Amino acid sequence: MSTSTQDDEKSPARAAAPARWEWQRKIRANATTHLIYRVFVGILGFAIIALGIVLLPLPGPGWVIIFIGLGVWASEFVWAAKLLAWTRRQVKAWTAWLGRQNPAVRGLAGLGVAAIVVACLYGYLLWKGVPTWLPDFVETPLGRLPGL
């Protein structure tokens, strides 16, 4: 048995998982198909995470897509399962902490996130310019921003 397979079986994510599906057992039974499957999962997870990173500065679910890609990796790689578990704990702790704060602190946190999003969008516009496909009522004010 290879080291990576031993690590996979000892993983907390693997221990909590219900019995493997039959197709996964068949894939893992053959070293060649298992390697091909791991490479496929690695490439698929990378593609999903890359898409999430591209979407980060845009309004939308960039972080959610990144976490989905990490979940794809976690289905096959122990380090990704540990990273995903750590990330979940951090998000829960942050959410719980923020929930205990008064409305002013929560509002400031929301404004901070909004400021980061606006800064990312502005940086993107500085880098790429104002898209010409935008309607005139959006393109004209954006074109008046400093540096654009």
Find the helix or strand (DSSP H, E) in which 23 lies: helix 22-29
d(CA 44, CA 116): 29
**Confidence at residue 3, expressed as pLDDT on a 0 to 100 scale:** 47
Along the 148 residues of the chain, how does pLDDT read in single tens digits?
A: 444 444 455 544 455 445 557 877 888 888 898 899 999 999 999 999 999 988 887 777 888 999 999 999 998 999 999 999 999 999 999 999 999 999 999 999 999 988 988 888 888 888 888 888 888 888 888 888 888 7
Taking alpha carbons only, the member of 1, 36, 13, 32 closest to residue 85 is 13
- For the chain, the average pLDDT equals 84
pTM of the shown model: 0.60
- Identify which of 113, 106, 142 has the alpha carbon closest to the alpha carbon of residue 125: 142
Domain boundaries defined on the chain: 1-100, 101-148
Q: What is the CA radius of gyration of the chain?
A: 21
For 42, other C-beta atoms within 10 Å of its C-beta total: 15
Distance, in Å, from the CA atom of 128 to the CA atom of 11, rounded to the nearest integer, reads 44
Helix (H) or strand (E) holding 93: helix 78-100
